Amino acid sequence: MSSPALARLPVAQAVAVEAGHLMRRRFLDRDRIAYEFKGPQDYLTAVDGEVERLVRGRLAEAFPEDGFIGEEDGGSAAAWTWVVDPIDGTANFARGIGHFCISIALLGPQGIEVGVICQPVAGELMYAGRGTGAFLNGEPMRVSQTSAMVRASVELGWSPRRPAAAYLDLVGRVMATGAAFRRAGSGALGIADVAAGRSDGYAELHINAWDCLAGILLVREAGGWTNDFLAGNGLAAGNPIIACAPGIQAAFLAAVGPGGLAQEGRLH
Ligand code: IPD
Ligand code: CA
């Protein structure tokens, strides 16, 4: 715990737990959750902003020189930059489904340094520092050993930021391999599930940095593979994401790539 990045990991964990408690309390107080839409299928509740302000404030107290980029209120980068989604899976949160989380990542000069995801309904805290391995409530996480698509179960994220036909093509190509697929509505948790070995892969044609940076580090530290999400303008504009267990990398990439990620030129 000597590097500046790893010194920030316990703070990020404590902030994620505190934020998790807040959003769980609000979630259980269901009658008070109202939602609106930022755009088509893009849910927003007052709790998204409330949680982001809490996290921004706590991290600024601890590390006033750090940058902060949040899904709701934006921000700017610095030498060390926190990239935060206060509630990932807002549609689930708003509609009473307990599959959502807070995602906190720290970016430094060498890429993603810290990733922390708290799923408060399940009581799960997942975290990693670069080079530390990945952990779920203190226990090491490892990606699955799955090596055949006919035994694989993957998640294919969706948002209206890409055409419906492109998503349906992606689903068709992945199903043609014999893999099972699902969409559960939280990109961060979908990627974290790969790290935990609960799922063998996650792909989405476009995702934002706050949804996926923490999960990417979890997957890499749990022995999995991801594309270079930050290539090009990934931090500001998002990119495709693909994360998977190494045993299905070639087959999953072949299925996802041709009409999806490869076309966008963001696979490395
Ligand atoms: C969305 C969710 C969804 C993913 C989208 C994200 P939000 O974030 O992670 O699963 O497919 O790309 O925008 O709106 O729940 O914060
Ligand atoms: Ca999100």
How do residues 11-48 score in pLDDT, each as one tens digit? 999 999 999 999 999 999 987 788 989 898 888 899 99
Mutate which of 72, 99, 211, 213 for ligand 1 pocket (most atoms within 8 A of beta carbon): 211
pLDDT for the residue 268: 38
Q: What is the chain's mean pLDDT, rounded?
A: 94
For ligand 1, atom 4, which residue shows the shortest CA distance?
Answer: 187
Rounded Cα distance between 212 and 231, Å, is 14
Ligand nearest to the CA of 95: 1
Looking at residues 66-93, what average pLDDT do you find? 96
| Residue located nearest, by CA, to atom 5 of ligand 1 | 159
- Pocket probe for ligand 1: among 47, 117, 159, the residue whose CB has the most ligand atoms within 8 Å is 159
Within 10 angstroms of residue 7's Cβ, the number of other Cβ atoms is 14
136-139 long-range contacts, CB within 8 A, separation 24+: 136/196
Express each pLDDT in 142-170 by its tens digit.
999 999 999 999 999 999 999 999 999 99
Among residues 252, 15, 225, the alpha carbon closest in space to that of 116 is found at: 15
Ligand 1: atom nearest CA of 185 is: 10
Q: For residues 123-140, give the mean pLDDT.
A: 98
